[in-house]
Amino acid sequence: MHNGPDGAVPPRAAGEGEVAAGGRVAEPGDPAGPGVVDLLGLLAYVSLVAFFRLTDDAALAVSLADKAALAEMAVAEFGHFQLLRYRLQELDLDPSEAMHPFVAAIDEFHSRTASADWLEGLVKAYVGDGIAADFYRTVAELLDHQTRTLVLEVLADTGHAEFAVARVREAIEADPRVTGRLALWARRLIGEALGQAQRIAAERESLARLLAGGEVTQLGQLGRMFAQLTDAHARRMAALGLAD
């Protein structure tokens, strides 16, 4: 095992012919190969941090009912983290080590997109929920049976954001001037997310290869995946009245 291109010591470094979890030699598409382990580590850390950030945003709510509703989304994210952590443990991997290569990028995303108020928190929750659901749906097709089952289980538990949509709509109706600010905020969120996604893809070659369906021309494939996620995001924003 060698150090990853990010200079840190990842649990499984990028590249083929690596040793998979349990000491076996990884095959392409191996359920414990480096690409899948990276994906599990990434999704676990994304879920854990989403739990903390959604809880922070929930604390901004004025009413106890709104506070509890956003906390409920946070708790669902923690449930996703628990499922992913359990899968890493099943593979005899240390969840903290599997998450480690993604800490910097995910933390930077959140430090650059801290919600200034309750409405920004709601939009962020809705944007994150939508992109996560699309990503889980897309990535499931590329995975081995076991990992796909896990990803679909997590996917089935997303979609807690209806209440966020209702609250944002109410706020826009009550004061249409918030539209411009929130539309700009939603664009910033997707821009920052794509920036960090590209950084991760560049740093973690086996993950990029997995997400590109094993293609050598992975950057083009990944670009198409990101474009599809962005299109779907734009459609959701338009439906919410936050079109460009």
Region of 17 (left: φ > 0; alpha: ψ -120 to 50; beta: rest) is left
Instruction: Based on the shown chain and the rule CB under 8 A, indicate whether residue 9 belongs to the binding site for a copy of itself.
Output: no
112, 192 contact by CB (below 8 A): yes
Instruction: Based on the shown chain and the rule CB under 8 A, indicate whether residue 78 belongs to the binding site for a copy of itself.
Output: yes
Per CB under 8 A, which region of 95-103, 113-121, 143-151, 196-204 contacts a copy of itself? 95-103
Instruction: Based on the shown chain and the rule CB under 8 A, indicate whether residue 12 belongs to the binding site for a copy of itself.
Output: no
Tell me the closest approach of the beta carbon of residue 103 to a copy of itself, in angstroms: 8
Least Cα distance to 234 among 138, 134, 139, 115 occurs for 134
Of positions 11, 95, 101, 128, contacts a copy of itself by CB under 8 A: 95
Least Cα distance to 35 among 156, 201, 229, 221 occurs for 201
Of positions 65, 141, 174, 177, contacts a copy of itself by CB under 8 A: 65
Instruction: Name residue 135's amino acid.
Output: F
Instruction: Based on the shown chain and the rule CB under 8 A, indicate whether residue 67 belongs to the binding site for a copy of itself.
Output: yes
143, 112 contact by CB (below 8 A): no
Per CB under 8 A, which region of 47-55, 129-137, 152-160, 211-219 contacts a copy of itself? 47-55
Of positions 6, 21, 40, 51, contacts a copy of itself by CB under 8 A: 51
Euclidean distance between the first and the last CA atom of the chain, given in angstroms as a whole number: 47
83, 46 contact by CB (below 8 A): no
Tell me the closest approach of the beta carbon of residue 112 to a copy of itself, in angstroms: 18
Which residues ranging from 172 to 191 are in contact with a copy of itself (CB under 8 A)?
none
Instruction: Based on the shown chain and the rule CB under 8 A, indicate whether residue 99 belongs to the binding site for a copy of itself.
Output: yes
Least Cα distance to 80 among 31, 40, 114, 111 occurs for 40
Instruction: Based on the shown chain and the rule CB under 8 A, indicate whether residue 90 belongs to the binding site for a copy of itself.
Output: no
Residue 8 has phi, psi (to 5 degrees) of -85, 175
Tokens standing for 29? 């598409």
Q: What is the binding site for a copy of itself (CB under 8 A)? A: 45, 48, 51-52, 55, 58-59, 63-65, 67-68, 71-72, 74-75, 78, 81-82, 85, 95-96, 99-100, 103
